[in-house]
Homo-oligomer: A and B are copies of this chain.
Amino acid sequence: MVNIAVLGYGTVGSGVVEVIDTNSASLEKKTGSGINIKYVLDLRDFPGDRVEPILVHDFDIILNDPEVRVVVEVMGGVEPAYTFVKKSLLAGKNVCTSNKELVAAHGPELIQIAREHNINFLFEASVGGAIPVIRPINSSLTADKILQIKGILNGTTNYILTKMSQEGWDFDEALKSAQENGFAERNPEADIEGYDATRKIAILSSLAFGNNVDFEDVYTEGISKITKADIAYAKELGCAVKLLASSTCEDGKYYAMVAPFLVPASHPLYAVNGVYNAIFVNGPQIGDVMFYGSGAGKLPTACAVVADVVDAVKHLDKHIYTFWSPEKLPLTGTENATRSFFVRVNGKKSDCEDKIREQFGSVRFVSTAEDPDGFGFVTDLVAEKVFDERVRSIPGFAGRIRIEGTLS
């Protein structure tokens, strides 16, 4: 029996306890030894709860108990998680975490400490909820050079965009529904402004490219400016609006971004709806590989954490090599990335048509009843910086959304 401690008894923490309790027999077979939750750390009390007899308020009890071999950190936030995790690793305890803020901010340092102590720091649940993606990048896609990662990494924004499209709601209505259903926090900024997806793409990119991608270097746009009219235009064009996180290696240069895109119906990410996530990985030899599943939720995320606990127990005396160097990977801007854009214009098409053709050549015009006083158009492929220069001279320019791939 391997003793573990769970730091934090919130949504994910209580899910971890539930998953271990429910599957104790099969976990015993899979680990060869079984898992015993010796402590749960939380500031709160839970009278009458299953964890009442093992609840502690003082982290040092866990730190100083040599019987605890694996620490599960599911508190969220950088502090005090960082301090607790670092102390645990330095004390020779394996750590499994679902905490993307922690991993994005301190991943390489914590991996390094684990390596030096021949133990493991595992974080599958920090990206993509139940979807196995960290371990496949780290262990299954190792033969090829990964050139691109692209995906829907945030369930909250995907739920909002799905509801706007399916129910015809505006952004505020969809956000309210997400909050009422527990898919968005009361302060939803980290999700809707793209910061959550930015941390996740930084983690995946660091693992895929080997050097550390600083999430603060990633170009980030959220979805709070997406309107009902944008959704209507997307439908007219046979597309859905999705918040895509991506990182790309082109000619030895790297760039990464999080931004809303129009995704055509022929694209596999088009059909990823609600709180589901999906991640594409591309290499010259493996081609496209995609991972899909529930990106959030108590039990799916808890399953990913517990799978890491199983792996930690199977590797108690063996560091699993993770290819994430602390050396910083310099990112270039996105200004040379070439793509089509959807552009929204206030005013009459007849007033601007000549100017638009002068700047962008042959474009495709589109209109919708949701935007009676304006119209839209789709450009051919154009570099971001060229687009930015040219679009400035379009009178009535009201906004633009990038397009993933090409429209049919």
The chain A residues found within 8 Å of chain B, CB to CB, are: 19-20, 22-23, 26-27, 29-30, 32, 124, 130-132, 135-136, 139-145, 210, 268, 271, 283, 285-294, 297, 299-300, 302-307, 309-311, 314-315, 318, 320-321, 323
Contacts and interface: CB of A to CB of B under 8 A. Distances in A.
Contacts of A321: 30, 32, 314
User: Which label, helix, strand, loop or mixed, suits the secondary structure of the A interface?
Assistant: mixed
B289 A23 contact: no
Contact of A26 (B145, B290, B314): B145
Q: Which 9 A-B pairs have the closest CB atoms?
A: A132-B140, A143-B306, A289-B293, A290-B292, A285-B299, A132-B136, A143-B303, A130-B286, A287-B294
Contacts of A309: 143
Contacts of A289: 130-132, 291-294
B290 A293 contact: yes
A326 to B, nearest CB: 14
Contacts of A271: 268, 271
Contacts of A285: 19, 22, 299-300, 302-303
A27 B288 contact: no
Contacts of A132: 132, 136, 139-141, 289
Nearest to A267: B271
B139 A135 contact: yes
A75 B148 CA distance: 32
Nearest to A143: B306
A36 B145 CA distance: 19
B311 A286 contact: no
Given A285-B300, A300-B287, A320-B314, A145 B23 contact: yes
Nearest to A136: B132
Contact of A292 (B135, B292, B307, B310): B292
A295 to B, nearest CB: 10
A288 B283 contact: no
Q: For A130, A140, A144, A287, which residue has the most chain B Cβ atoms within 10 angstroms?
A: A140
Nearest to A22: B285
A144 B32 CA distance: 16
Nearest to A289: B293
Contacts of A143: 19-20, 23, 27, 302-307, 309-310
A281 to B, nearest CB: 9
A304 B32 CA distance: 27
A383 to B, nearest CB: 30
A307 B29 contact: no
Nearest to A20: B143
30 contacts: A19-B285, A22-B285, A23-B145, A30-B142, A30-B323, A32-B321, A132-B139, A132-B140, A132-B289, A135-B135, A135-B136, A135-B139, A139-B311, A140-B307, A141-B307, A142-B310, A143-B309, A143-B310, A268-B292, A271-B271, A283-B303, A285-B300, A286-B294, A288-B294, A289-B293, A289-B294, A290-B292, A291-B291, A314-B320, A315-B318
